[in-house]
Amino acid sequence: MRLSLFQPDIAGNVGTMMRLCACFGLDCDIIEPCGFAFGERALRRSGMDYAEKVNYHRHADWDKFCEFLHMNGKPRIIAMSSKAATPLHLFKFRPDDVILMGRESAGLPEHVHAQVDERIIIPMQPGFRSLNVAVAASMAMFEAMRQTDQIPNFLSNNEAGVS
């Protein structure tokens, strides 16, 4: 299972999602261009020392990312989208799914929507546009891991679990 970030705008969100991937042993993809200099201090601060422990790949653009996936078994690309109809909790995940998060400012462009395999939404109260991308990624990844029995059982090694 992988978490993929499409042209992220905010370094702090990327750092948070890299930390998520490190803590759960997930791979992370960053599809450029980013809206910040990748080595920015905010990325390091929010990712803390976890950024060094995550297996991540930077891709120059969407096409390079798709080529990378094709060379690695062509897993399903599942887009998180506020425009989707299938709720997160009703979607059936597979162990090798790629969960794609859109840009904080604009989501995913139509050409990307046209190329993904599935689109899912996190149901919310009416009148709200979206969740923070890192919060949405956390919810989606945990649900996908729960469904596919990929939640690590590290509780005996975990001092607090939350910081």
- Which residues are part of a known binding site for S-adenosyl-L-methionine? 80, 102, 122, 130
What tokens does 18 get?
């890299």
What tokens does 138 get?
């956390």
| Residue ranges of the binding site | 80, 102, 122, 130
Say how far apart CA 44 and CA 32 lie, in whole Å: 18
Say how far apart CA 54 and CA 150 lie, in whole Å: 17
Q: Rounded to the nearest 5°, which phi and psi values hold at 2?
A: -135, 150
CA 106, distance to chain mean position in Å, is 16
Which residues on neighbouring strands pair with residue 56, listed in sequence order?
Answer: 28
Q: CA-based angle 151:155:157, to the nearest 5?
A: 120
What tokens does 136 get?
């949405």
Say how far apart CA 104 and CA 109 lie, in whole Å: 12
